[in-house]
Structure 1
Amino acid sequence: MMELPPGIIYLVSCLPQVLSPPALVYGLDRICDFTFGVSLPEWSRIPAYILSFPVLFTCTVLATNYHDRRQAALRGAVLPPMFPSTWPGGLDVLAALAQNFKTGYMGDIMDNQCETLGHTIFTTEPEYTKAILATKFKSFAKGPMFWDQVHSLLGTGVFNSDGDVWKFHRSMTRPFFSKDRVSHFDIFEKHATDAINQLKTRLRDGYPVDFQDMVSRFTLDSATEFLFGKDVCSLSAGLIYPPSSPLSKDVAFENHPANQFAHAFSNAQIATAYRGRFGSAWRLVEFWTDRVKAHMDVCYKFINPILKEALDKKQMLKETETIDEKAEAKDREVKEGETLLDHLVNYTEDPIVIRDEILNIMIAGRDTTAATLTFVICMLSQHPDVLRRLREEILNKVGSSRRPTYDDMRDMKYMRAVINETLRLYPPVPFNVRTSTEPTVWPGVNGGRSIYIPPNTRALYSVFLMHRRPDLWGPDAHEFDPDRFLDERLHKYLTPNPFIFLPFNAGPRICLGQQFAYSETSFFLVRLLQQFSSVSLATDVQTAPPTEWAKSSGRKALEKVVIKGHLTIYAQDGVWVRMDEANPTEVV
């Protein structure tokens, strides 16, 4: 059955809203004619129909504002400030956001409005974020608009579900992120060794390496082996060459199945993020074709055979199970060596539900850790003193060749501080949103009035902007300084107010893979810095920010790469580096 184009679906859904104003005018005209024998003159009917749209829209807005102000007053609160707009429906704001998404510095527009109107309009206030994520968790959900925008990508997975569906997905995946499972490093060791060996070879050949691409392959292979029991072998395709090299145009490389999957997966996320700039009207931008679905179809061709194999295996086992074994299947603990996919088929045999959950976890397992590793290396390239100190800790703790254990990495305080400082300035999920499900009130802050949030209100929040606020982190908030997580600043700023640092979210939806991410990031950094002693940006290849950024204030003036975000943060065109191998006999 052929699907209707997205734009047609949107226009059909808008028909009630489009038809109701002229229908109201027509109905009132007929009532007046029937009751009083008075109707609109013929010449005035078309203007009346046309004027009915702005009149009804204005009346609706005024009535809604009056009702919301009354509800706020009854609760001793005020409404949050509105994002200033001069065009109907805030079209100028949408246009500005879309343009900023393409060419601007991430978060600029929202940050400017927060500076002018306070930290409520686009939430960067810890108390409000705490309310959304924790204290008033039941009053907020992902919401229908978010679901509509990302459904082509995430389906009904854990990141795109609410209520009982979310609880179901959460309960399915929780057992796979216990301490025992995230401290088994065989998968990390296998793929880290492969990635670092390729890195050495490419650097020895005289080429810089796109570190972001390399660690994305490392985390993709690690995540898919963790999830499926078999990896997609993206590292087997080889690392990319710089654009100036003729080898970068290798057709075989581009057509490698793992590269096609990875490119489609990334493009689907970019297309999904772009929808967020157009609200519920995104289908007008993708009028004839769902761009996300086109990319996801490529991903499904890769994943569906793996799902089918797992479900067929489950069916064969079911035929030999006893009644008692079937009853216990969903309640049993995870077996040693069992993959998440094996575990999921014990909960449901719906391939769509399983596929959606796998893809949700894959985004979390691949993109967030890859982003953290990318920006750690980006920061180390600009702070050789931090790199030297981090290597000293690694070599003192595990030496130049020993594989680190879970306890080793737990004891590396400076390593954790470097990772945390990177997560502070470059949180993997920089922007997020919830929708209120009922009327709720946020507490007043700094002597201000409490804030009334009407039902069905989208509450956008940004840990990216919150993590960079000087009033929360100190006057050096825009500087990269891992010691802030070790010295007196930790007790001055973070300890009294832990909600100023939320790289893994908080509350009931806090990231289940937090320790997995710390372990994978730490493990790779140990293995990398055991073998390399320096790193620098390859400025002859690296896409640099516009020169005018250097004249700006804050972190923007310090950036050496162009940061972007879809569902997660990344560097535009990669992070190209050159690295020096350590002396094999180096001992600290």
Structure 2
Amino acid sequence: MIVTGLSLETLSILVGSVVALRALQLFLDFRRLLANIHHLPGHRTILSSSTVLGRLLPPTPLLILGHDHFWLLKHGPFAERGLDIISAVACWPKAMGSMLIADVNVIKDIVWSRGERFPKPLGQYTVLTFFGENIIASEGNEWKRYRKVVAPGFSEKNKRLVWDATTQIMLDLFDTMWAGQEEVVVNHSVDLTFPDDVIPLGHQLTFKDALRTVTQDLTLTILVPRWAMGLTKSFRRARLAFDELHRYLTEMIHERQESKDEEDNNDLLSSLVSANDNENLSKGEVRLSDSELIGKLQFQTLAEHDYITTAHALSFAFALLALHPDKQEEMYQHIKHVLSDGRIPTYDDMPSLTYSSAVFNEALRMFPPVCAVPKSSAEDTTFTLTDVNGTLKTVVVPKGLDLILDVPGLHYNPKYWEDPFAFKPERFLGDWNRDAFLAFSGGYRGCAGRKFAETEGAAVLTILISQYIISIKDEPQFAGETYEQRKARVLDARSMLTLAPTRLPLVFRRRT
């Protein structure tokens, strides 16, 4: 017993010593990192938000910033410290630091920098390679190859096709599913059903439902082993959606491979399939198997598909117009002025439908799809900017430090956007600071599908507002809430693969 007691005591001393030494090492590394960034003011936490645990835990002062802190805090942390570059330093599981940036000139310097000064920190994109290598999780020559492959799919001709297809879908919606109804009520805007939302033979979900579920449950699908995906109803739903999306994309690839119609071979999918043909491969490149091609296409679909980017932005635009009926009426009058004969708008009308585009841009400014754009510093450098008092400041950036372009911080920065929390579409009608708008990222790595999203957004808003009035659905449980409470409730958002409304109940009433 004495020997055992001594052994346990010795063991506890050893364990305690190891823990103490590890804590001391973490503390010293933490202090060293702060010294390397010259103690730039900012966030100090125990846990890093870049870890798996950090992505799951809610924001907790001193413990962790949380996955959604960019969206939740917006420009607040910069305003508190009087400078549009701040730091975020955590000490566990190791000393980790980054600089958060909401200064337009510094961001311009980063996104338009030639060479490899500010590459993507590809380690942070490991989760996005779950489906295979892709354009977002790539750099250098590999990214250039992906860009070359996808660029033809975003042609001017295809933008016109996007407008025409969107117009037809909206008109079909009005003439079929909404026919004979003076009011259409939806409990959540992203669940809005369209005429083409049918389940084809051999499938259990529509393409849209499969895509949406995979998007929402992406982290779940990656973290939970395949054998465990049948244990709960939500797990089974996620597994089904993943399998259905895989099946849809397999069918789409085979259809494109067999298609002889040139009219069907000008889109993004066809570009990817064509680039994988033996005769189009560069020297040394290996042809992808169907499985590998599906992996690339699966992530590309998640990253670039209109549902993820445009549908969420449109949901927020609907909510903002419903909450601001004066702006909605102003938009309606503008549409009537442009389309004075009451005709259906065409793609050629888009340059004149400036208010529709302004509403879409303002929704994207207030609710950016992606809240953080990570970069890294490949060399020791400095940034120069002015603080809140107009004093010139130099920020030292050591080699290897992560840089985060804080999109909500930029979009809610009063230096570039007057009254940034107010819904003001008119701010996009005149001259506006395009470098302070990062909804589609920026610079050389800007979103290739930006014009498609803008085209679809303008078409949907124009056609919908020309024929319907949007309002917030009245619900008994919220009868006593104030306007500000209602606004906070319906505009509540959370970050999935992109920023999405939590629940947005709407009413669409036909204009008389």
What is the alpha-carbon distance in structure 1 between the residues aligned to residue 215 and residue 273 of structure 2?
Answer: 27
Indicate yes or no: 2:349 matched with 1:408.
yes
Q: Retained in 1: the 8 A contact 2:122–2:138?
A: no
- In structure 2, the partner of 1:181 is 158
Counterpart in the other structure of 1:568: 498
| In 1: Cα distance, 2:482 partner to 2:123 partner | 36
Counterpart secondary structure, 1:372: helix
Does the alignment pair 1:97 with 2:59?
A: yes
Instruction: Report runs of 4+ in structure 1 exceeding 6 Å deviation.
Output: 41-44, 88-94, 98-106, 285-296, 313-318, 541-544, 546-549
SS at match of 1:176: helix
Q: How many residues align?
A: 461
The answer (yes or no) to whether the contact 1:470–1:477 under 8 Å persists in 2 is: yes
TM-score if structure 2 supplies the norm length?
0.75
**Matches for 1:393-432 after TM superposition, within 5 Å:** 393-399=334-340, 402-432=343-373
Amino acid at match of 2:361: N
* 2:383–2:397 Cα contact (<8 Å) kept: yes
Q: Identity across aligned pairs (percent)?
A: 20
- Asked if the contact 1:260–1:298 (Cα under 8 Å) also holds between the matched residues in 2, the reply is no
Alignment match, 1:342: 270
CA distance in 1, matches of 2:142, 2:402: 21
1:64-89 deviation line (CA, Å, top 9, x unaligned): 555x36xxxxxxxx56434223x476
Equivalent position amino acid for 1:167 in 2? K
Match of 1:523 among 438, 459, 477: 459
With over 3 angstroms needed to count, the CA separation of the structure-2 counterparts of 1:548 and 1:524, relative to structure 1, is closer
Indicate yes or no: 2:400 matched with 1:473.
no
Where do 1:522-541 residues align within 5 Å?
Answer: 522-532=458-468, 534-540=469-475
Shift in alpha-carbon separation, 1:103–1:54, aligned structure 2, 3 A = closer
Q: Which amino acid aligns with 1:443?
A: T
* 1:236 matched residue in structure 2: 198
Aligned partners of 1:189 and 1:371: how far apart in 2? 18
Output the CA distance in 2 between the equivalents of 1:439 and 1:180. Answer: 44
> Match of 2:198, SS?
helix
Kept in 2, the 8 Å contact 1:268–1:295? The answer is no
Q: Which residue is equivalent to 1:56?
A: 25
Alignment of 1:502 with 2:438, yes or no, is yes
Match for residue 200 of structure 1? 178
Aligned mates of 1:139, 1:295 — CA distance in 2: 43
Counterpart secondary structure, 1:536: strand
Offset at 1:294?
Answer: 8.1
Alignment correspondent of 2:428? 485
Structure 1 unaligned residues grouped into runs of 5+:
1-40, 70-77, 222-232, 238-253, 276-282, 319-333, 584-588
> Map of 1:550-569 to 2, 5 A cutoff?
550=484, 560-569=490-499
Given residue 302 of structure 1, which amino acid in structure 2 is its aligned partner? E
Residues 314, 410 of structure 1: alpha-carbon distance in 2 compared, 3 angstrom cutoff: closer
Equivalent residue, structure 1, for 2:281: none
Residue number in structure 1 paired with 2:300: 360
Query: Aligned AA for 2:119?
Result: A
Question: d(CA) in 2 for partners of 1:407 and 1:414?
Answer: 15
Correspondence for 1:115: 79
In structure 2, which of residues 35, 44, 47 is the aligned counterpart of residue 84 of structure 1? 44
Task: Name the SS of the counterpart of 1:387 in structure 2.
Answer: helix
Q: Counterpart in 2 of 1:264?
A: 213
1:516-560 Cα shifts (integer Å, max 9, x gaps): 11111111122212322x22100318989x979959xxxx97664
C-alpha contact (below 8 Å) 1:372/1:426 kept by paired residues: yes
Alignment of 1:168 onto 2:171: no
CA distance in structure 2 between the partners assigned to 1:563 and 1:313 by the alignment:
37
- Name the CA shift for 1:306/1:564 in 2 (closer, same or farther; >3 Å): closer
Q: Secondary structure at the match of 2:345?
A: coil
- Which residue identity is paired with 2:268? L
CA offsets, 1:288-311, max 9 Å, x none? 979999877544533444554566
2:368, 2:506 → 1: CA distance?
21
Which segment is superposed worse, 521-530 or 107-116? 107-116
What SS does the aligned partner of 1:341 have? helix
CA contact under 8 A between 1:79 and 1:451: conserved in structure 2? no
Q: In structure 2, do the counterparts of structure 1 residues 80 and 498 end up closer, same or farther at CA, with 3 Å as the change threshold?
A: farther
1:451 and 2:395 matched? yes
Whole-Å Cα distance in 2 between the matches of residues 359 and 521 of structure 1? 22
Contact 1:467–1:501 (8 Å) recurs in 2: yes
User: Hey, what's the Cα distance between the residues in 2 that align with 1:46 and 1:462?
Assistant: 41
Please say if residues 472 and 505 of structure 2, whose CA atoms lie closer than 8 Å, have aligned partners that are also in contact.
yes
RMSD: 4.3
Letter in 1 for 2:421: H
Conservation of the 8 A alpha-carbon contact between 1:368 and 1:429:
no
For 2:48 and 2:268, the matched residues in 1 are separated by 45
Greater Rg by CA: 1
The answer for the alignment partner of 1:22 in structure 2 is: none
Contact 2:215 2:302 in 1 (8 A): no
Distance 1:524 1:156 in 2: 33
CA distance in 2, matches of 1:89, 1:105: 12
Show the counterpart of 2:110: 132
- Asked if structure 2 preserves the Cα contact closer than 8 Å seen for 1:157 and 1:353, the reply is no
Distance of aligned partners of 1:432 and 1:55 in 2 relative to their CA distance in 1, 3 Å threshold: same
> Match for 1:146 among 120, 124, 145?
124
| Corresponding residue number in structure 1 for 2:244 | 302
Q: Is the Cα–Cα contact under 8 Å of residues 563 and 571 in structure 1 kept in the other structure? A: yes
Partner of 1:75: none
Distance 2:412 2:142 in 1: 34
Q: Aligned partners of 1:357, 1:80: CA distance in 2, in Å?
A: 42
Q: C-alpha offsets along residues 32-51 of structure 1, whole Å, 9 cap, x if unaligned?
A: xxxxxxxxx99975654443
| 8 A contact 2:215–2:497 mirrored in 1 | no
- Per-residue CA distance 1:182-218 (angstroms, 9 max, x = gap): 11234223322333346625954x6612462255x65
* 8 Å CA contact 2:75, 2:410 repeated in 1: no
Q: Report the Cα offset of residue 261 of structure 1.
A: 0.8
When the two structures are superposed, what TM-score results if normalisation uses the length of structure 1?
0.66
Task: Give 5+ residue unaligned stretches, structure 2.
Answer: 1-9, 87-99, 277-286
- For the structure 1 residues 50 and 207, does the alpha-carbon distance in structure 2 shift closer, same or farther, using more than 3 Å as the test? same
